[in-house]
Structure 1
Amino acid sequence: MAARFLKIAAVYFVLGVCLGLTMGITENFSFTTVHAHLNLLGWVSLALFGIIYYCFPKAGETKLATIHFWLHNIGLPLMQGTLFIMLLTSNHSIVVLTIIGSIMIVVGAILFLINVFKNVG
């Protein structure tokens, strides 16, 4: 799982950097929250999860790690994609999808916590 987390972290890094560049070029910073979340929850958090799972392979080989990976990587695009659309269109009718994505990330974080306490020395 470590390699999966690190590879997808690199994808989020590029997405976050490209969004930041686009905002800078256009001088439109309305998507700053999306940019920050892609960098923090995408790049930084996933890279740290990958490093932890690399350093503690027993934790990375669990079903908890797999479920955590999928919850985070379905929840984050759902949360940030719908937030991006809401900011772009001022249509808040899809806020429930942002909330669902957020909850998925929180559940994944709780599973990560449980996994660390169970499998990290």
Structure 2
Amino acid sequence: MRGISKAFFGLALVCAIVGMAWGIQMSASGDHLLSPAHAHLNLIGYVGFAIFGIYYHLVPSAAEKMIAKIHLAIAVVGVVLMVPGIVMAIRETSETLAKLGSIAAIASMLLFAWIFITSSRET
């Protein structure tokens, strides 16, 4: 595994470790208020990034294109904005980051759909 595939998978592992540690902290404290942010970190960060990484590993022609690098950047921006944005929304300080992160996350998924569709035609 290398390139975009390795980057996505490495980031998936970081999200999983941080998400698990956060879950343990919530359990130990008995305070589960921020569980929606924790869930998004695990689902979009860990699961989503791992799926992207596996796809790019299995379809190297898609991984070699510039659009895959753009996909990585948008996906990272989505998680980096969304997770703290959800924390801020729960704490009722602002919903702006959550909204921006959500837009980036769906843009990332739409871009991935485009990559999948166009790469499927090549094979």
2:1 matches 1:2: no
Q: Deviations over 1:55-92 (max 9, x none)?
A: 000111112211111111011111111211332x432x
TM-score (norm 1): 0.92
- The letter of the residue matching 1:90 is E
Q: Which AA in structure 1 matches 2:89?
A: M
Instruction: Report the residue type matching 2:49 in the other structure.
Output: L
Partner of 1:84 in structure 2?
87
1:69 alignment counterpart: 72
What runs of 5+ residues in structure 1 fail to find an aligned partner? Answer: none
Letter in 1 for 2:92: S
Distance 1:62 1:107 in 2: 18
**CA distances 1:13-41 after superposition (whole Å, capped 9, x unpaired):** 01110110010000001111111111110
Does structure 2 retain, via aligned residues, the 8 Å contact 1:79–1:100? yes
Name the structure 2 match of 1:59: 62
Matched residues in 2 for 1:96 and 1:113: separation?
26
Aligned to 1:110: 110
- Residue equivalent to 1:47: 50
Kept in 2: contact 1:4–1:50 (CA 8 A):
yes
Output the CA distance in 1 between the equivalents of 2:37 and 2:45: 11
C-alpha distance in 1 between matches for 2:11 and 2:64: 17
**Within the alignment, does 1:97 sit opposite 2:100 as a pair?**
no
**8 A Cα contact 2:12 2:45, kept in partner:** yes
Figure out how many residues of one structure are paired with residues of the other and give that number. 118
- After superposing the two structures, state which structure 1 stretch, 36-45 or 61-70, moved more: 61-70
Maintained 8 Å contact 2:84/2:97:
no
